Amino acid sequence: MPPAVTPIPVSEADLSQVRYDDAGLVPAIVQEEGTGEVLMMAWMNETTLRRTLEEGRTVFWSRSRQEEWRKGDTSGDRQYVRRAAYDCDGDTLLFVVEQEGDGACHTGAHSCFFRSFGADG
């Protein structure tokens, strides 16, 4: 049985605090509930942010394809939003998620941040 979808209640006042770049995008960091591990970073526009909060699943904007994409629709590695926040400047979002499936990275890794500078091999 998949995790429960939980929409995140949000006010227009909160949404008005988000600051988008010149392309209408804001970075969204995704962190795993329970472990605190940073899973990935992707971009959102106003529509995908609203959709994420309303649907309770992460929805992003692909800069390369110029289209929306819902995490896991193709891979099955879905992200169910448990908490959502924006930083003090309103120019970065944070989503704490329950990760379903193998992981968040398109490479098949659990986290996109599996490589370290200066690490051997």
Phi, psi of 34 (to 5 degrees): 90, -55
Question: Residues comprising the binding site for Zn(2+)?
Answer: 88, 105, 112
Q: How far apart are CA 107 and CA 22, in angstroms?
A: 29
Binding-site residues for Mg(2+) sit at: 87, 89, 91
Candidates 2, 52, 5; CA nearest to 30 is: 52
Percentage helix, strand, coil for the chain under 3-state DSSP, each rounded to 5: 10, 30, 55
**Residues that constitute the known binding site:** 87-89, 91, 105, 112
